[in-house]
């Protein structure tokens, strides 16, 4: 195809306006509202980033007994308020907000997540903004170079995310504990419900992960020789089909739980108690 190569290099313009392509001025002829999804993604993700950054750096109002905000769990430094450090305070030398030590794991998990990658490549990097809509960049190398080649370590963040999900599950169990002034025993308030809902969504998101699907059975070439792993893979595959939905739901639920605890901790509202 020597002649094609010659044509390609003969001009600076590539892509849909390249010299061999059908001459059409418009970057896209799509008439539907293709910009809606990337725009919504951009707004929601940006909102979350602003909120989460503020909350993570704030370093306070993250604990309202018995509820610990997922942004601060586990709370491992000596700036953690009394009762919030269920795993001790081994990182006492850390002087910044305790959230910053541990948020790196869920953040890394979500940043390298195959769904989030799709969403932010489209919404933030416009590469591409939507299908069959020309992207603004003149060069593109995908995930072949640093830093994007690091996306390949997603599975390690998944291992960490499983640990985080276990800790959040423990937190949700503790959320059945007594609030100040209540007797010992099992109690439940609106916060408990929110924390349980959150941890369920976190698990759904974590278990529906593409790396999880690969690890449980996807990497096999002979399902027939591994019937148990095949069952697990089938189950994860079903969850995986809704991975994007769980990504959104769990993003909201984490923010809601944190915000709810913030409101409790600042005394803005009181936790409705069921029993």
Partner 1 sequence: MSDRHPMTGNEMSGSEPGGLERHQYDVVVVGAGGAGLRAAIAAHDAGARTAIVCKSLLGKAHTVMAEGGIAAAMGNRWPEDNWEVHFRDTMRGGKMLNNWRMAQLHAQEAPERVMELEDWGALFDRTEDGLISQRDFGGHKYARLAHVGDRTGLEMIRTLQQRAVALGIDVFMECTVTELLKDGSGSIAGAFAYWRETGRFVVFEAPSVVLATGGIGKSFKVTSNSWEYTGDGHALALRAGASLINMEFVQFHPTGMVWPPSVKGLLVTESVRGDGGILKNSDGKRFMFDYIPEFFKAETADTIEEADRWYDDKKNNRRPPELLPRDEVARAINSEIKAGRGSPHGGIFLDIASRRTPDYIRKRLPSMYHQFKELADVDITQEPMEIGPTCHYVMGGIEVDPDTELAAVPGLYAVGECSGGMHGSNRLGGNSLSDLLVFGRRAGEAAAARADSMGQSRPTVRDDDVRAAQASALAPFDVEGDENPYAIQHDLQQSMNDLVGIIRTRGELEQSLQEIEKLKERAKRMTVEGHRQYNPGWHLAIDLRNMLLVSECIAKAALAREESRGGHTRDDFPQTDHEVWGTKNLVCNVDATGAGIDLSEKPLPVMPDELKKYFD
Partner 2 sequence: MGYRLKMRIWRGDQSGGDLGDYEVEVSEGEVVLDAIHRVQATQAGDLAVRWNCKAGKCGSCSAEINGRPRLMCMTRLSDFDPVETVTVTPMRSFPVIRDLVTDVSFNYEKASELPSFAPPPRDADGKRRMAQVDVERGQEFRKCIECFLCQNTCHVVRDHEENKPAFAGPRFFLRYAELDMHPLDTHDRRQLAQGAAGLGMCNITKCCTEVCPENIKITDNAIIPMKERVVDRKFDPLVWLGSKIGLRNRDNDGRTEV
Output the smallest distance, CB 46 to partner 1, in A: 39
DSSP run (H or E) holding 59: none
Residue 93 carries which DSSP code? T
Where would I find the H helices in 112-242?
Answer: 114-123, 154-174, 190-207, 210-213, 227-240
Q: Does 2 bind partner 1 (CB under 8 A)?
A: yes
Taking CB within 5 to 8 Å according to partner kind, which of partner 1, partner 2, none is near residue 2? partner 1
- Determine the interface stretch with partner 1 among 2-10, 28-36, 86-94, 265-273 (rule: CB under 8 A): 2-10
The helix/strand/coil state of 44 is: helix
Burial string for 217-233 (b: 16+ CB within 10 Å, else e) reads: bbeeeeeeeeeebbebb
Residue 157: phi and psi, rounded to 5, are -65, -30
Residue 24 carries which DSSP code? -
Residues 6+ apart with CB under 8 A from 125: none
Taking CB within 5 to 8 Å according to partner kind, which of partner 2, partner 1, none is near residue 74? none
- Determine the interface stretch with partner 2 among 67-75, 93-101, 131-139, 190-198 (rule: CB under 8 A): 131-139
- Determine the interface stretch with partner 2 among 12-20, 40-48, 103-111, 191-199 (rule: CB under 8 A): 12-20
Taking CB within 5 to 8 Å according to partner kind, which of partner 1, partner 2, none is near residue 182? none
Other CB atoms within 10 Å distance of the CB of residue 4? 9
Q: Does 131 bind partner 2 (CB under 8 A)?
A: yes
Binding residues for partner 2, rule: CB under 8 A, are: 1, 4, 8, 14-16, 18-24, 26, 28-32, 114, 117-118, 121-122, 127-128, 131-132, 134-135, 137, 139-144, 148-149, 152-155, 210-211, 213-214, 218-226, 230, 240-241
């Amino acid at each position: 195809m020597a002649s094609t190569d010659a044509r390609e290099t003969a001009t600076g313009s590539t892509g849909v306006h390249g010299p061999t392509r059908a001459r059409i001025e418009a970057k896209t002829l799509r008439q539907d509202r293709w910009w809606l999804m990337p725009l919504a993604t951009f707004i929601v993700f940006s909102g979350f980033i602003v909120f989460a950054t503020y909350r993570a750096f704030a370093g306070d109002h993250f604990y309202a007994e018995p509820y610990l905000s997922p942004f601060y769990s586990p709370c491992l430094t000596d700036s953690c308020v009394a009762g919030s450090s269920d795993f001790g305070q081994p990182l006492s030398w850390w002087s910044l907000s305790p959230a910053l030590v541990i948020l790196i794991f869920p953040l890394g998990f979500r940043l390298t997540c195959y769904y989030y990658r799709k969403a932010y490549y489209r919404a933030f990097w416009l590469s591409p903004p939507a299908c069959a809509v020309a992207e603004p960049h003149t060069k593109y190398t995908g995930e072949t170079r640093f830093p994007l080649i690091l996306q390949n370590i997603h599975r390690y963040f998944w291992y960490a995310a499983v640990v985080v999900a276990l800790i959040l599950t423990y937190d949700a169990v503790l959320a059945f504990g007594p609030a100040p002034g209540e007797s010992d025993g099992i109690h439940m308030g609106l916060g408990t419900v929110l924390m349980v809902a959150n941890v369920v969504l976190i698990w759904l998101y974590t278990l529906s992960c593409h790396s999880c699907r690969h690890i449980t059975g996807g990497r096999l070439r002979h399902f027939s020789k591994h019937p148990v792993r095949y069952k697990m893979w089938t189950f994860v595959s079903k969850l995986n089909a809704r991975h994007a939905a769980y990504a959104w739901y769990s993003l909201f639920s984490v923010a809601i739980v944190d915000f709810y605890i913030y409101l409790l901790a600042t005394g803005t509202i009181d936790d409705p108690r069921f029993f």
